[in-house]
Structure 1
Amino acid sequence: MHTTDSSHGKGVGLSLAIGSALAFGGSGVAAKPLIEAGLAPLHVVWLRVAGAALVMLPLAVRHRDLPRRRPALLAGFGLLAVAGVQACYFAAISRIPVGVALLVEYLAPALVLGWVRFVQRRPVTRAAALGVVLAAGGLACVVEVWSGLRFDVLGLVLALAAACCQVGYFVLADHGGGEGADPLGVIAYGLLVGAGLLTVVARPWEMDWSVLAGTARMNGWTVPAAGLLVWIVLVATVVAYITGVVSVRRLSPQVAGVVACLEAVVATALAWVLLGERLSVPQLVGGAVVLLGAFVAQSSTPVPESVVSRGTVKEPVASA
């Protein structure tokens, strides 16, 4: 009976993890039409984060003692995993294809290994080093270095900055900031902190609010701008974060991290269908190599007590 219940729990966890990857993967595809309709990338990020923070406000009230117990964790999550990652990613997709931006962002596991090896001066396995080489080689194919980096250089730099923000919070969590903190509470307060920071930077009072009352174009289709915003806030943020947290409680961090790689596949496929952003065969092969390298790098390193991926706090999972 215990084995059956355990298998059922893992099955549910796997389904939730896939759902989380699907939800996260749709954020860029929904945001880019809003940016092209006239909203600044920072304004779209502010709408996403502020809207999600408002929805998850009841969770923040429930965990109102969290700011007193884990102020550094909440500040790091809000600054890096929420404001930093989202602002850099949305700014990147305003200049380069969604799939390319997300694949560059998936260099984060390889960059974490670089931090471990060269900053902390801790040894890494050969398999982990192979993962870094694969990710770097795959990225070279994605950006087509033989064509002289035909993509916007600033867009690529912004995507890389998003990856670095992920690394920063990963390192913060690895130093023990997440112990004893409820992940849903951390997400709720992280969104509140991120919304506060973005309010100062984005200046939403200068936003062209009339864009939300109009329509946006998606590969020749006309869609309500407000509908895209609702999708970004409720599905690509709130549902994505919650399902991600619940799923990791039922799975190991390694499995959840591998499933998370589906986000890049989903985002690339949706951008192809809904935005008409087609990648060449070398780019598709390179993208597969990037994800393989990320998988090898992640699964070859010791799992810290608290692992963070795509801004989702991953608690320790009890062994079988």
Structure 2
Amino acid sequence: MSGQFSQTRGLVFGVLASLTFATSGAFLKPLLESGWSPAAAVTVRAGVAGVVLIPFAVVALRGRWGTVWTARWRILGMGLVGVAGTQLVYFASLQRIPVSTALLIEYLAPLLLVGFVWATTRRAPRLVVLLGSLVAVGGLALVIGPGALGAVDGLGLFFAALAAVGCAGYYVIAARPSRGLPPVALAAVGLLLGSLSLGLVGLTGLVPLEADTDSVVMFSLEVPWWVPLVFVGIIGTAFAYVSSIAASEMLGSRLMSFVGLLEVVFASVFAWILLGEALTVLQLVGGAAILAGIALVRSDKQTDAPLEPGAVDDSAPDVPATAARSRPDPTFTR
């Protein structure tokens, strides 16, 4: 019963994470239209979120500061892979292929996690998981649209594939046993490290860091440039990352990666409500298919299923797997 409650709570956190991640596109679009580069917006967004979370992390870490050192490699992975690395290769892909194509490839991360376990354990997933994977990815293709299949630039596809690996890596890192490190602390330090890394790479010229401090028009209102950044920093990044990490610890990397596909659905809905962008019947069907795929993957009750990536903390003493786990606008990814 407690395991079922934990998974239900994890699904709630996961849906909230996808919902809040999805606000980024609609609220940052005015900045992009006013001259901000995507890399600059994401760098500042992550920095704002990290600063906002630091006081909460300090309170949560009282009496257990040692967990930060214990989880140092997990924190480094979150900052360098989950935040900075994934963003860098994603933006590199956008310079060569359409946004829809880059998104479709990046969000194949759930299939990578299923395939990784299959390859490393030589134990095939149950039919319901494979069926759920196909249904969810098919729904994702419908939500993103048929234009996602038109790219031919090989290097752009390669960068997008690296982004998919980074996205899968994010879920693996987020799902690893916490060993006492609060999700808010992992998110705070990881986001600050990621923002710093993105900024340093931007200074080298590898990705453009362009910003404009003029007022922007957001939902027909003229507002200061920092208004959308503060909103996205607090809601679409700080709250979203903490919720996503907490959900990943409860659900595991595989299921949470499928729940994360809802971000694309919510982003389309926000674009429809806030920006007036049309929501097609195919997108609605695709959203329903993603929900069906998540339900199928969640329905896998196999108790002796192969361990998923991130389920075991290699640095901790050997314990049973059940005890080891404590459990976008189209331009933007987490």
TM-score after normalising by structure 2: 0.69
Give runs of aligned pairs for residues 36-115 of structure 1, distance below 5 A: 36-59=33-56, 61=58, 62=61, 64-87=65-88, 105-115=106-116
CA shift at 1:25, angstroms? 1.6
Counterparts of 2:218 and 2:151, CA distance in 1: 22
Assess, with a 3 A threshold, how the Cα gap between structure 1 residues 173 and 107 changes in structure 2: closer, same or farther.
same
Do 1:258 and 1:295's aligned partners in 2 also have CA atoms closer than 8 Å?
no
Do 2:93 and 2:160's aligned partners in 1 also have CA atoms closer than 8 Å?
yes
Q: Counterpart amino acid of 2:45?
A: R
CA shift at 1:113, angstroms? 0.5
Counterparts of 2:102 and 2:291, CA distance in 1: 13
Counterparts of 1:280 and 1:226, CA distance in 2: 32
Q: 2:128: which partner in 1?
A: 127
Q: 1:116: which partner in 2?
A: 117
Assess, with a 3 A threshold, how the Cα gap between structure 1 residues 262 and 316 changes in structure 2: closer, same or farther.
same
Aligned length: 301
Question: Considering only aligned residues, what root-mean-square deviation do their CA atoms show, in Å?
Answer: 4.3
Counterparts of 1:17 and 1:135, CA distance in 2: 16
Q: Give the match's secondary structure for 1:203.
A: helix
Identity of aligned residues (%): 33
Give runs of aligned pairs for residues 278-297 of structure 1, distance below 5 A: 278-297=278-297
CA shift at 1:120, angstroms? 4.5
Which stretches in structure 2 are left out of the alignment for 5+ residues? Answer: 312-323, 328-334
Q: 1:316: which partner in 2?
A: 326
2:198 is aligned with 1:201: no
Q: Structure 1 stretch 34-43 or stretch 195-204: which is displaced more? A: 195-204
Alignment deviations for residues 164-215 of structure 1 (CA, whole Å, 9 cap, x no partner): 21212334567x5644433222112211221221121123998444x23321
Assess, with a 3 A threshold, how the Cα gap between structure 1 residues 88 and 10 changes in structure 2: closer, same or farther.
same
Q: Give the match's secondary structure for 1:56.
A: helix
Do 1:135 and 1:289's aligned partners in 2 also have CA atoms closer than 8 Å?
yes
Assess, with a 3 A threshold, how the Cα gap between structure 1 residues 269 and 141 changes in structure 2: closer, same or farther.
closer
Counterparts of 2:161 and 2:143, CA distance in 1: 13
TM-score after normalising by structure 1: 0.72
Alignment deviations for residues 202-252 of structure 1 (CA, whole Å, 9 cap, x no partner): 23998444x23321455x665543211111101111122334556778x76
Assess, with a 3 A threshold, how the Cα gap between structure 1 residues 306 and 13 changes in structure 2: closer, same or farther.
same
